Amino acid sequence: MHHEDSTNDERGLSPAFRQPAFLEPEDVAAQERDRPRIPQGLIQLFLLLATLFTTTLAGAQMQYNFAHNLPFFDLDRITQVFAIGLGTPARFLAGLPFSLTLLTILMAHEMGHYLACVYYGVDATLPYFLPSPMPVTGTFGAFIRIHSPIYSKRVLFDIGIAGPLAGFMFVVPALGIGLAFSKIIPGINNQGNLQLGVPLLEVLAQRLVFPGVPAGDIYLHPVGRAAWVGMFATALNLLPIGQLDGGHVIQALFGTRQKWVTYTFLAAMVPMGWFWPGWIFWALILFFFARKHPPMYDTSEIGAARIQLGVVALLVLILCFSIIPMVDLP
């Protein structure tokens, strides 16, 4: 360290640019204290408002297409998302049913994690929302960051499962409301450039609201579209892989055997790519960035109640999962 300082002197560096060879702990603390910091929550608030704007913009186009019986998504009209959403204040505000529904579902999911962290004294941030220019959803989702390690299987289980179950509690009524405002247009879902898959929960709900009507003839209201995005996000997070919510649950239930479950499901996602290429993309992302779970050395029993909740999470995954989430139409 001292040698580096003398080298800096020989190079003629000003004392203002020299790095001290050693800092006392109180000096480090003073530097950290004096360093300019963005107040906690300010970044999250900015991202939330940005995501509210992008999702409302996407919702405005959905509402316009829904009102005029146009296809849900048409690549030939993709550039009109700004002309429609920003054309008049009324058109922009018409996108709020979609955006507020979707953000409520995502917020419930992330706050489920966050409040569980607060309950157990685990250091975690408020939710970060991710805006997106994609007109299909207007967002890439949301996440929280956990800064402190989790040593208890029960705590890990509760934090992992709290998000999907909280979000699902808002998905169900959103889907019901969306279907109540939906309408029947023969062949509407075979028009445009994109067709969304129909998860089991949506199939069951459609049979209740529109008995005997083919799914391809039901034009889903934007609120229902928001519920669909919530179902897709819930299913993806509940996959029993690595650091996903489902991976946390499996880690708490099965310990070190969780890694074999992770590799099994990652391998299964490759042939699933034959049905939807996006599964291969997610398999690669999860393999490189989220397949490894921090080790745990807790040998205590997790309890029968949590095992039952694990079964509930599995049922939620089955209800929200679609092997073909979306199809590009010719």
Token reading at 312: 């509930």
> 294-301: long-range contacts at Cβ-Cβ below 8 A with a sequence spacing of 24 or more?
294/149, 294/150, 295/256, 296/150, 296/151, 296/153, 296/156, 296/251, 296/255, 297/151, 298/151, 298/152, 298/153, 300/152, 300/153, 300/154
pTM: 0.86
The residue assigned the tokens 């479950």 is 261
DSSP character at residue 148: S
DSSP character at residue 124: B
Token reading at 136: 């299909």
Query: Shortest CA distance to 168 belongs to which of 303, 316, 268, 3?
Result: 316
Query: Shortest CA distance to 215 belongs to which of 188, 236, 233?
Result: 188
User: What integer pLDDT is reported at residue 34 of this predicted model?
Assistant: 57
Between CA 103 and CA 138 the distance in angstroms is 11
The residue assigned the tokens 């179950």 is 165
Token reading at 106: 């995502």
Answer for the pair 79, 242: CB distance below 8 angstroms, yes or no: no
Between CA 32 and CA 222 the distance in angstroms is 47
User: What integer pLDDT is reported at residue 6 of this predicted model?
Assistant: 41
User: What integer pLDDT is reported at residue 182 of this predicted model?
Assistant: 97
> What ranges do the domains of the chain cover?
42-238+300-328
User: What integer pLDDT is reported at residue 257 of this predicted model?
Assistant: 86
How would you write the pLDDT of the chain (330 residues) with one tens digit per residue?
A: 444 444 444 333 333 333 444 445 455 445 555 555 667 789 999 999 999 999 999 999 999 999 999 988 877 666 677 777 787 889 999 999 999 999 999 999 999 999 999 999 999 999 999 999 877 899 999 999 999 999 999 999 999 999 999 999 999 999 999 999 999 999 998 888 888 999 999 999 999 999 999 999 999 999 999 999 999 999 999 999 999 999 999 999 998 888 899 999 999 999 999 999 999 999 999 999 888 877 788 888 899 999 999 999 999 999 999 999 998 876
User: What integer pLDDT is reported at residue 121 of this predicted model?
Assistant: 95
Token reading at 48: 């939330």
The residue assigned the tokens 């900015």 is 46
Between CA 310 and CA 204 the distance in angstroms is 22
Q: Is the dihedral of CA 101, 127, 278, 330 positive or negative?
A: positive
Q: Is the dihedral of CA 119, 315, 242, 125 positive or negative?
A: negative
Query: Shortest CA distance to 293 belongs to which of 255, 327, 330, 265?
Result: 255
Distances (CA, A) of 306 to 17, 155, 276: 57, 11, 33
Token reading at 223: 């609120």
Token reading at 274: 């034959």
